[in-house]
């Protein structure tokens, strides 16, 4: 009986770690609905074509709605939402370059880009409230985790494509407030 309880505990813990079920501080979010509350925020400002905009919206509808968001998608949805929320406030040369959304890349290629650890640390601090909330993954492993699901790899690629510019402006804004 004790062996059964130990095995059950390990399965539960391992499942929590894999799918982020221990992410008490993170709840599902309807990204499209939340973006509608931000003035002048349009997905087409972040992608190169109308087809890309439609595909991005479809993926957000499929994986990032409050009622339907399964635990393994909450993390990438929160990351994309924070990025778009900040990105919508940028204009002119501060705005990120438009991404080609429909392109798919491997997890290795996405996570192998140069500024990945800076981006991981930045978004991890934002979504964990500087480490106060447990999301089941450390900053250094964030890219690998969110790109491990082939269903949402386009969302992850999109996030990491436009994140460096948004991160830079967010950090610059934060430093300006601290002065």
Q: Please check whether residue 18 lies inside any domain of the structure.
A: no
Q: Tens-digit pLDDT profile for the chain (179 aa)?
A: 554 444 434 444 444 444 444 445 578 899 999 999 999 899 999 999 999 999 999 999 999 987 656 777 999 999 999 999 999 998 877 888 899 998 888 999 999 988 899 999 999 999 999 988 888 899 999 999 999 999 999 999 999 999 999 999 988 877 765 44
DSSP H or E stretch at residue 73: helix 71-87
Per DSSP (E only), the strands in 26-169 are: none
Q: Please check whether residue 144 lies inside any domain of the structure.
A: yes
Q: Please check whether residue 2 lies inside any domain of the structure.
A: no
Q: Please check whether residue 53 lies inside any domain of the structure.
A: yes
Distances (CA, A) of 102 to 15, 143, 153, 167: 30, 19, 11, 23
Quote the domain boundaries for residue 32.
25-178
DSSP H or E stretch at residue 8: helix 2-19
Q: pTM (2 decimals)?
A: 0.82
CA distance 174 to 122: 12
What's the total number of domains in the chain? 1
């Amino acid at each position: 009986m004790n062996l059964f309880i130990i095995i059950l505990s390990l399965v539960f813990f391992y499942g929590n770690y894999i799918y982020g079920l221990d992410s008490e501080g993170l709840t599902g979010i309807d990204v499209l609905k939340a973006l509608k509350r931000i003035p002048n925020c349009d997905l087409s400002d972040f992608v190169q074509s109308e087809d890309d905009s439609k595909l991005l919206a479809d993926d957000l509808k499929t994986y990032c709605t409050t009622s339907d968001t399964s635990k393994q998608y909450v993390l990438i949805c929160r990351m994309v939402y924070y990025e778009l929320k900040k990105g919508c406030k940028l204009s002119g040369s501060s705005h990120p370059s438009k991404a080609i959304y429909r392109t798919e890349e491997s997890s290795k290629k996405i996570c192998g880009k140069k500024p990945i650890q800076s981006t991981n640390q930045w978004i991890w601090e934002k979504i964990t409230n500087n480490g106060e909330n447990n999301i089941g993954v450390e900053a250094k492993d964030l890219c690998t985790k969110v790109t491990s699901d082939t269903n949402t790899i386009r969302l992850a690629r999109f996030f990491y494509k436009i994140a460096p510019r948004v991160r830079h402006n967010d950090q610059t804004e934060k430093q300006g407030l601290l002065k």
